[in-house]
A and B are shown apart, each in its own frame.
Chain A
Amino acid sequence: GAVVSQHPSRVICKSGTSVKIECRSLDFQATTMFWYRQFPKQSLMLMATSNEGSKATYEQGVEKDKFLINHASLTLSTLTVTSAHPEDSSFYICSARLLAGLYEQYFGPGTRLTVT
């Protein structure tokens, strides 16, 4: 199956700093990528849809100025958590959608963010 990578796999940062997470589709081009957040023992919650070459679409309740998304190429989307606070600590997962067949989404391995 298609491969999606994320970097870093885990990051610890101080409150007030910004953190960038990269999501790459390694063997296919993805015009659309998705960013999810997952809290312990809960399912994935969609944060935003990242569209190559255009602005991201954010879900209700997700602050676009706090979670900056850039999808500059067909294989890379980035999520920047600005002015991070402890409540932003979570597991962030991206997925990339294959534009063929059943439009399956392939998920990255996730990034564990801890804000101290």
Chain B
Amino acid sequence: KNQVEQSPQSLIILEGKNCTLQCNYTVSPFSNLRWYKQDTGRGPVSLTIMTFSENTKSNGRYTATLDADTKQSSLHITASQLSDSASYICVVNGNAGNMLTFGGGTRLMVKP
């Protein structure tokens, strides 16, 4: 069964600190892995998308890593800001955009 598990479920950090979110998956076949940021009451917005051959990809203060051998990904947020408070969702695509498997998300709260 295709599954995507994220940890932690929720996280509280102080503004300016770094944090790392984890994503483990068992999706097969594997096409690509995406990280989305979802603000409360809004739709998800793509942060990064990585294919099998990519190990790391950055988007500003967000850096995603992918280890296709161990089927693990992480999202590192540097110098967190209050606006980073949101849910971060790991999504694995198994088949050309048709078979997305969603993780449960990590709810991040950044406090001043």
Binding site for B on A (CB under 8 A): 1, 4, 6, 32, 41-44, 46, 49, 91, 93, 95, 97-98, 102-110, 112
Interface residues on B, range: 20 to 34
29 A–B pairs (Cβ distance < 8 Å), ordered by A: A4-B43, A6-B43, A32-B97, A41-B107, A43-B89, A43-B102, A44-B44, A49-B98, A91-B41, A95-B43, A97-B97, A97-B98, A98-B97, A102-B32, A102-B49, A102-B97, A103-B31, A103-B97, A103-B98, A104-B46, A104-B97, A105-B100, A107-B36, A107-B43, A107-B44, A107-B45, A109-B43, A110-B43, A112-B41
Candidates B49, B51, B97, B104; contact of A43 at CB < 8 Å: B104
Confirm or deny: B93 has a beta carbon within 8 angstroms of a beta carbon on chain A.
yes
Within 8 A of A (CB), among B84-99: 89, 93, 96-98
Chain B hits for A6, CB < 8 A: 43
Whether A42 pairs with B104 at a CB distance below 8 angstroms is yes
